Amino acid sequence: MRRIVVNAELSPAANTGNAPGGVGHSIAHESAHKHVRGTAEYVDDLPLLPGTLFVATGQSAKPHARIRAIDLSAVKSASGVIDVIVQSDIPGKVDVGPVYLGDPLLAGDLVEFIGQAIFAVAATSFEAAQRAAVLAKIEYEELPAQLTIEDSLTAQSFVLPQHQLLLGDPDASIETAPHQLSGEIFVRGQEHFYLEGQISEARLTEDGGIHVISSTQHPTEIQKLVAEVLAIPLHLVVAEVRRMGGGFGGKETQAAPLACIAALFAQRNRRPVRYRMPRRDDMIQTGKRHDFLNRWRVGFNREGKLLGVDLQLAGKCGYSPDLSEGIVDRAMFHADNAYFLNSARILGLRCKTHTVSNTAFRGFGGPKGMMAVETFLEDIARQLGMDPLDVRKANLYQPGADETPYGQKIEQHVLPILIERLEKSSDYRARRIAITEFNNTHRHLKKGIALTPVKFGISFTAKHLNQAGALLQIYTDGSLLINHGGTEMGQGLYTKIQQIVASAFGVSVNRVMVSSTRTDKVPNTSPTAASSGTDLNGMAAKDACDQIKADLVSFACEHFNLAPAQIIFKNDLVILGENQLDFPAFIKLAYINRVALSATGHYRTPKIHYDRATAKGQPFLYFANGAAVSEVTLDCLTGEYKVDQVDILHDVGKSLNPAIDIGQIEGGFIQGMGWLTTEELLWDEQGRVISNSPANYKIPTAFDVPEIFNIELFDEPNLENTIHLSKAVGEPPLMLAISVWAALRDACSSTTNYQFSPRLDTPATPERIYWALQDCVAFNKTAAVKPGTTEEDFNVTT
Amino acid sequence: MRFVVNNVPVELVDVAADMTLLRYLRSQQNLMGTKEGCASGDCGACTVLVGRQGADAMVYEAVNACICPLGSLQDCHIVTVEGLTPAPGVMHPVQAAMVECHGSQCGFCTPGFVMSLAGLQLAAGNELAKADEDTQRAAVIDAISGNLCRCTGYRPIIAAGLFVLKEASLKEASLKKTTLKKPAQTARFVQNWVPNAPLAGTGGAPADTHNRNLSDGASGYWQPHTEIELQQLLVEYPHARLVAGGTDLMLEVTQQYKNLPQLIDLNRIESLSEILIGSDEIVLGAAANYSALEKTLAELAPEFVALLKRLGSRQIRNRGTLGGNICNASPIADAPPYLLVMDAELELVNSKGGSRRELLAHFYRNYKQTSLAADEYLARIRIARARLAQPLKLFKITKRYEDDISAVMGAFCWSGATTNEFKIAFGGMAAIPKRASVTEQFLTGSNWCVSGDVDEGILAQACELLRSEFSPLSDVRASAAYRMAMACNLLKKACYEFAAEAFGKVTEARLFHHA
Ligand SMILES: Cc1cc2nc3c(=O)[nH]c(=O)nc-3n(C[C@H](O)[C@H](O)[C@H](O)COP(=O)(O)OP(=O)(O)OC[C@H]3O[C@@H](n4cnc5c(N)ncnc54)[C@H](O)[C@@H]3O)c2cc1C
Ligand code: FES
Ligand code: FES
C-alpha cells in the first residue's frame, strides 16, 4: 500500500532569510514547545484574582415571543449569586451588532431565538452561576416563528436587502442553449467547535476603565463595544488576546457579548469577572455557518460548456444581520468558483429566521456558493455522458474567458496548469478505470472519485478592513519585540510574522518576540479573518522593519562612511563594508548614537474597489487556488463510506513556511470534510438546536483521515506584490473537501451506470447517501436504457 | 483520601463526592495544562494518565478527567501533562515528536493528545516497536480515538505517534535524532515513583478504612472492597447512587450541574471486576471495564471485541463497564443487543446478600426502566460457551465511525445450517434494547439459504416482519425510516455472510473490519 506522509521539511525557499528560521523555512509554531508541555496559557488558565465572579445567562425558551413578566427572585436568592442584570441595567448602548444593529446584549421584551440571553447572573463560582440561571420564572406571549429558509422565502422576510450580480443576458442565453437543466441543493451550516469555548475576563482599572482579556479574533471591536456598553471612552478600555484555542470565524463577532457582560459586572461590582461558556451554551447561544438553499437554471452546449446561469443563493441568517451582508456577498462572489459562466444572474437573499444569528466561518459564504456550480457541472456531465472532470476543465477561466460575474478579470491563470499536474500526479484516469472495474465486480461496495478545484478571492469585501498596523521595538541587547493587529488562533500568524521580522534584519527567529495582541499597542485593527492575517499584518510588520532599517542604514552610512549598498544585515551580523558587527553590538551603537529603535508600520491593500450600485468592481487583490482528488468507497446496504485517498495540490504563492501552510491545508481540508460528511446541525420543530453537544454533533476524528493523504504546494510566486510573494492560506483549503462530497456522489452515480446524479444535500451522512442510492434505484426502474445495477444488487428495503 | 499527582503525594479530607478530577486539578492544584473542551468525555482535552498498582508494576491508563470522580482515585498515581516533563528544558519523546511533526496549531487539544500517546507508549511502546506500520498506525489511531482536534486534521499527530513508536525500535541507534529522548527515560521516571504509603486493593486492610467517609459531612464517597461491604453500605445509605466508570453518571454533574452527594464506587471490589472463563460459561464482572474485556475476550468473542473498539473511545473504555451499560438502560447502548442474542443471564444481588438470576431480555421493562430493585446491584453477567461458539454478526450504524452513539445497533446469531436457529436483537429501534422475536421465529427453520444461496424472497418477508415488530423514532442521530431500513439491511448483510461462510463461499469484502 502506498502511504506517503507529507514531508514537513520541504525545500526551504531561499528567497530572503539567511539566518536560521527566516522566511521560507518550515520552523515550528512559535508556541509549539508550550503547547506540548501544557504551558501555553488560554484565558481560563490565568490565575484567578481574588474575588473573581463567574457568569451565566438566563436563556429564552421560545423562538419568538414577547416577555410578559419576568420573576428573578429565585435567581437572586440562589446560593453564591452576587448580581443579576437585565437589559435596563446597561448604562450605555444595548445593541452590540457589529455592522448593523440587531443584536441586543440582553433581550428586552422581545426574544427571537431559543437560547437568547435574557438576563445575566454573576456568582462566586461557575456552577453557582449555572445553577442560578435556570431558576427564573418567565412568562412569554408566543409569536409566530419562522424557522427555516422556506419559511422566510414564503414570508419574504429578510434581515438585509437582496443583492444581485449580472453578467450578460442569462435568460436569453439559457433559453437559446442546446440543453437546459434546473435544480437545487440544501447545504447545511456548521458548528465551529473550536476546542476552547468562548471566554472573556474583565478587570477594572484604577481609572474606571476595563482591561478585557478575551478569546477573540477582533480585539478592536471588543474594545469599542465594551466602551459603548459601559458608556466610557475607548482609551479607557484595553482588549488583549495572546492566543485562542481555535477561532475559525466563530470568534470574530461572537466573542463580544461575553466581554461586554463581563465588563458590565466588573464595573457594577468592582470585582474581576470571568465569563466562560460551557460547551452546551456555546453550541446553543453562538452563531454558526449559514445553511444555504441554492436554486439554479442553467443552459449549456454539447461540450458541456456553460452558456448561462441563473442562480439564487438563500442564506439562513438567523434573527439578526451580524456579518450576513458580507457572507452572502462572498457566497455570490464564489458562485462561479473557478468557472467562466458566460452569462449569469446571481441573486443573494439574506433570510430571517428565529434561530441564533449565523456568523463567519472559514470561507465566509464562499463554500456555500461553490456547492451550486459544483453540483450542476456534475449534472451536466451525467446528462452528456462525460467525466465530470472534463466538464469542469472545459469551463475553467482562461484567457479570453476571464470575466467574473462581478466584473473582475482573472489575470493569473493558475488552475488549468495546476489541475493538469494534479490529474497526472494523482493518476486520475487510471484510477477511474480501476474504479469502474471494482464497481463491476462488487455487489454492495462502490467506489467513486472526483477532482474539484478551488479559486478563492483574497481581501475583505468591506474595503476599510483591508489595512493593518504593527509596532516594532528593538532593545539595546539586540532583541526585537513585534506587536501587530492580528490574532493567533493556531494558524501560525505569529510564527510567520516572527519569520518576516527576522528575515528583514537577517537575524535568527529567536531574537524576535511576538507578544499579545493589545489594543493599546496597535490601535484600530481589523479582525483576523478573510485569510488576510499574514497578508495585512505581515506587510505592516515589514513596513515597520523597513523604517527602522532605513534609519539604521543611514546612521551606518554616516558613522562608517559607507554607501547604503555596503551595509548588509545577515546571519545575525551587520556587514559594514569590509567590517562587520554582530547585531546586538550594532544596535547598541545605534542607540548610543540616538537612532530611534521603534516604529509603527501600516499597510493598506492597493487596487481593490467594489460598487454595490452597479455590482461591479475588483473586490479581490488576487485569488488563491488549489485542487483535490478524493477517492471513496461506500456500502450500498447502509450508506456508510470511507475516504480512501486524497491528493491535493495547492497554491500558496511562495510559501512563508511550508510546514505551517501544509498544516492549514490538511486541517482546512479535514474541517471541510466534516462539514460535508458527518457534521449535521439539526433543529427540532420548536426551533431548538438538537445537535447541542459533541455527543450528537460529530466532527472528524483521526480514523476519518484518509490513509493516503498527499499534499503538495504549487510553488509559484504571487503575481501581486504580497508579503514575499506569498498567498493567503487560511480559508481556501476548506473547499478542497468538496471533492469528497463529489466522490461520494460519483459512487452513487455509478449504480446508474453514471447516467444519473442523485441529489445529495449536505452533510452527506450515511443516511443521506443511503437515500441518494434509493433515488438511483428509482431512476434505474424508470430509465429507458438498461442501467448498470439492478434493484436486486441493492436489496432495497423501502 | 490519598493519591499522588505527578510526583506530589496528596492527602485530602474535605472533598465533595461528585468532585471531578478535572475540576480538582484546575481549581485546587493549579495544573492548567489539562483543559476542558466539553466536560462530557467527548473531546479528550482533559486526558490524563491514571496509574494503579498492577500485578508487578504500575499500570497506566488514559482517562477523561472531566467525568472521572476524584473519589475513585484513592491510592492512584495521576500523571498530567506537567508531570511528563521530568525537568525544565527536557521533553518527553511524545512532546518532542509533536513539535517535530508540527502536531499542534492552536494547541488547546495538544496536552490531551500528548497524554493519550504517552499512555500508548507506556502501555505498549516496546511491543509495538517491533510491529509493522499498519499495526502501529491502528494502535496510534486507537489511542487517540477520544481526542478531537479541530485544527490539524490529525495527520501530523498520527505521524508523531508513529515517530515515537518507531524511535523506540531504534533505541540503540537513536542518537541521530538528537531531539528525541529515549522513551525508556520517561517510563523509568513514571515507574520509579513509589507511593509513600502501601497501595490498597490487595485485600487484607480492615473494612472500616474502606468504608470511611472520604468526603465532607453531608455527602460521602465510599469505595468498598468486598461485596459484603457493598451490601452494608446499601443498607446504610439507601439513597446513595452506584458508580462504576462514571461515564454515564457523571454527565449529570458536568452537564446538568446536579449534586450527587452520596456515591458508592464499585471499582475496587475484585469479585465485581473479575472475568472468569469457565468450561461451560463465561462470567463477566459487572464492573470490569471495556479495556479489560477487550484484552480477555479477544479470542473467545472476537466479534464482541471488534464492537467494543467502536464503543466510545479508548479513554471511555478504560473506565466504562458492562454493568453501567446495562443498568443505565439506554435504548441505544451497544452491548445489550449482543448480550440479548447471547441469552446472557444477569446475576442481581440485594443488600441482604440475596441473589437472583434473570435473563437480560426480561430485565428491561420500559424506557429507562429495569427490574433492578432499589437495594440491588448487578454483580455478574453470564454467557454460555456454547452460544459463544455460534456464528455471530454485529453491526453498528453511526454518523461517524469512531466514538459515536449508535443510530442502530444490530446483533445476529445463527446456530448453523443444521439447527438453523436465529437470534436477532436491535438497539435504537425501540424504547429498550429488544429481540426481534417474530422475525426470529419466522427465519428459524426456514429455507432462507439453500446451499449458500440466499432466498431473497424469504429475506424480504423477514424484513416485512421486522417492520411490523418495530416502530423506531426519528431523532438527532437518524430518521425512523433510515433506522427501519437499516434493521432490514443489516439482517440481510448478516444472512449473506452467514450463508457464504457456512458454505465456504467468498463473502464480499467489508468496508470496515470492526462491527
Ligand atoms: C464520550 C462517551 C462516549 C460513549 N460512547 C458509547 C458508545 O459508543 N456505546 C455505548 O453503549 N455507550 C457509550 N457511552 C455510554 C457509557 O460509556 C456506557 O454506557 C458505559 O458502559 C457506562 O458504564 P459506566 O461504568 O461508566 O457507568 P456509570 O456511569 O458508572 O453508571 C451508569 C448507571 O448505571 C448504574 N450502575 C453502574 N454499575 C452498576 C451495577 N453494577 N449495578 C447496578 N447499577 C449500576 C449507575 O448507578 C448509573 O446509574 C459513552 C459515554 C461517553 C461519555
Ligand atoms: S473536557 Fe472534553 S473529554 Fe473531558
Ligand atoms: S491544535 Fe487546535 S484543536 Fe488541535
- Residue by residue, DSSP assigns A154-178 as HHT-EEEEEEEEEES-HHHHHHHSS
Whether A649 and A715 map to the same domain: the answer is yes
Calculate how close chain B gets to A757, using CA atoms only, in Å.
Answer: 21
pTM of the model: 0.95
Domain end among A544, A578, A604:
A604
| Range(s) of the domain holding residue A261 | 44-144+192-285
CB A487 within 8 A of CB A528: yes
What's the confidence (pLDDT) of residue A797?
34
**Average of pLDDT values for B20-46?**
98
Whether A730 and A746 map to the same domain: the answer is yes
Calculate how close chain B gets to A771, using CA atoms only, in Å.
Answer: 8
Domain end among A285, A313, A339:
A285
Whether B279 and B383 map to the same domain: the answer is yes
* B511 touches A: beta carbon within 8 Å: yes
* B443 touches A: beta carbon within 8 Å: no
Domain end among B388, B418, B435:
B388
Calculate how close chain A gets to B62, using CA atoms only, in Å.
Answer: 16
Q: Which of B39, B100, B137 sits opposite A278 (nearest CB)?
A: B39
* B90 touches A: beta carbon within 8 Å: no
Q: B482 and A770 in contact by Cβ < 8 A?
A: yes
**pLDDT tens, residue by residue, B339-363:** 999 999 999 999 999 999 999 999 9
- Our answer on whether the CB atom of B153 is closer than 6 Å to any ligand 3 atom is no
Task: State the Cα–Cα distance between residues A690 and B25, nearest whole angstrom.
Answer: 31
Q: Which of A40, A696, A703 sits opposite B477 (nearest CB)?
A: A696
Q: A702 and B402 in contact by Cβ < 8 A?
A: yes
Identify the H or E element spanning A763: none
* B314 touches A: beta carbon within 8 Å: no
CB B462 within 8 A of CB B442: yes
Whether A701 and A780 map to the same domain: the answer is yes
- Retrieve residue A751's grid coordinates: 449504480
Whether B276 and B239 map to the same domain: the answer is no
Q: A130 and B257 in contact by Cβ < 8 A?
A: yes
Taking CA–CA distances from B142, the nearest residue in chain A reads: A703
CB A442 within 8 A of CB B508: yes
What's the confidence (pLDDT) of residue A785?
54
**pLDDT tens, residue by residue, B309-321:** 999 999 999 999 9
CA–centroid distance, A318 to ligand 3, in Å, is 28
CA–centroid distance, B44 to ligand 2, in Å, is 5
* B367 touches A: beta carbon within 8 Å: no
Residue A580: give its domain's CATH number. Answer: 3.30.365.10
Q: Give a yes or no: residue A4 inside a domain.
A: no
Residue B468: give its domain's CATH number. Answer: 3.30.390.50
For residue A344, count other CB atoms closer than 10 A to its CB: 26
CB A249 within 8 A of CB A360: yes
User: pLDDT band for position B194 (50/70/90)?
Assistant: very low
Residue A50: give its domain's CATH number. Answer: 3.90.1170.50
- Retrieve residue A445's grid coordinates: 461496495
- Cell 472532470 belongs to residue: A389
Whether A388 and A314 map to the same domain: the answer is yes
What's the confidence (pLDDT) of residue B171?
52
Q: Is the pLDDT of residue B178 over 50?
A: no
Whether A597 and A659 map to the same domain: the answer is no
CA–centroid distance, A574 to ligand 3, in Å, is 39
Q: How far is CA B5 from CA A373, B14, B15, B81, in A?
A: 56, 17, 16, 11
| Range(s) of the domain holding residue B131 | 93-189
Question: Which one-letter amino acid corresponds to residue B485?
Answer: A
What's the confidence (pLDDT) of residue A783?
80
Whether A563 and A652 map to the same domain: the answer is no
Q: B489 and A638 in contact by Cβ < 8 A?
A: yes
Sign of CA dihedral B437, B301, B144, A642: negative
Q: Give a yes or no: residue A691 inside a domain.
A: yes
Whether B437 and B423 map to the same domain: the answer is yes
User: pLDDT band for position B200 (50/70/90)?
Assistant: very low
Residues 6+ apart with CB under 8 A from B242: B263, B264, B266, B327, B377
Q: A442 and B482 in contact by Cβ < 8 A?
A: no
What's the confidence (pLDDT) of residue A787?
52
CA–centroid distance, B151 to ligand 1, in Å, is 30
Domain end among A285, A309, A326:
A285
Q: Whose CA is nearest to atom 15 of ligand 1?
A: B248
* B257 touches A: beta carbon within 8 Å: yes
Phi, psi at residue A603, to the nearest 5°? -145, 140
Chain B interface test: which of A6, A36, A734, A775 (most B C-beta within 10 Å): A36
Chain centroid, CA B340 distance in Å: 19
User: pLDDT band for position B169 (50/70/90)?
Assistant: low
- Our answer on whether the CB atom of B339 is closer than 6 Å to any ligand 1 atom is no
Q: Which of B247, B249, B291 to mutate to test the pocket of ligand 1 (most atoms within 8 A of CB)?
A: B247
What's the confidence (pLDDT) of residue A786?
55
What's the confidence (pLDDT) of residue B206?
33
Q: Give a yes or no: residue A679 inside a domain.
A: yes
Q: B511 and A193 in contact by Cβ < 8 A?
A: no
Active-site residues of A, by number, are 731
User: For residue A632, which of A623, A642, A640 has the smallest C-alpha distance?
Assistant: A642
Q: Which residues of A672-699 are buried (b: 16+ CB within 10 A; e: fewer)?
A: bbbbbbbbbbebeeebbbbbbbbbbbbb
Ligand 2, atom nearest to B35 Cα: 1
Whether A535 and A568 map to the same domain: the answer is yes
Whether A280 and A304 map to the same domain: the answer is no
DSSP 3-state of B219? coil
Residues 6+ apart with CB under 8 A from B498: B391, B393, B412, B414, B449
| Per-10-residue mean pLDDT, chain A, length 798 | 36 45 95 97 98 98 98 98 98 97 97 98 98 98 98 98 98 98 98 98 97 98 98 98 98 98 98 98 98 98 98 98 97 98 98 98 98 98 98 97 98 97 98 97 96 97 93 98 98 98 97 97 95 96 98 98 97 96 98 98 96 96 98 98 98 97 98 98 97 98 97 95 97 98 98 97 98 97 63 41
**Average of pLDDT values for B163-186?**
50
Q: B108 and A248 in contact by Cβ < 8 A?
A: no
Calculate how close chain B gets to A113, using CA atoms only, in Å.
Answer: 19
- Our answer on whether the CB atom of B450 is closer than 6 Å to any ligand 3 atom is no
- Number of structural domains, chain B? 4
Q: A690 and B476 in contact by Cβ < 8 A?
A: yes
Q: Which of A668, A690, A704 sits opposite B401 (nearest CB)?
A: A704
CA–centroid distance, B140 to ligand 1, in Å, is 25
- Our answer on whether the CB atom of B154 is closer than 6 Å to any ligand 3 atom is no
Q: Give a yes or no: residue A236 inside a domain.
A: yes
Whether A393 and A542 map to the same domain: the answer is no
CA–centroid distance, A424 to ligand 1, in Å, is 51
DSSP A401: B
Whether A353 and A433 map to the same domain: the answer is yes
DSSP A48-112: PPTT-EEEEEEE-SSSSEEEEEEE-HHHHHSTTEEEEE-GGG-SS--B--SSSS--BSS--SEE-
- Our answer on whether the CB atom of A246 is closer than 6 Å to any ligand 3 atom is yes
Task: Give the CA count within 13 Å in the CB-facing half-sphere of B330.
Answer: 17
Task: State the Cα–Cα distance between residues A452 and B13, nearest whole angstrom.
Answer: 62
Task: State the Cα–Cα distance between residues B166 and B162, nearest whole angstrom.
Answer: 6
- Number of structural domains, chain A? 3
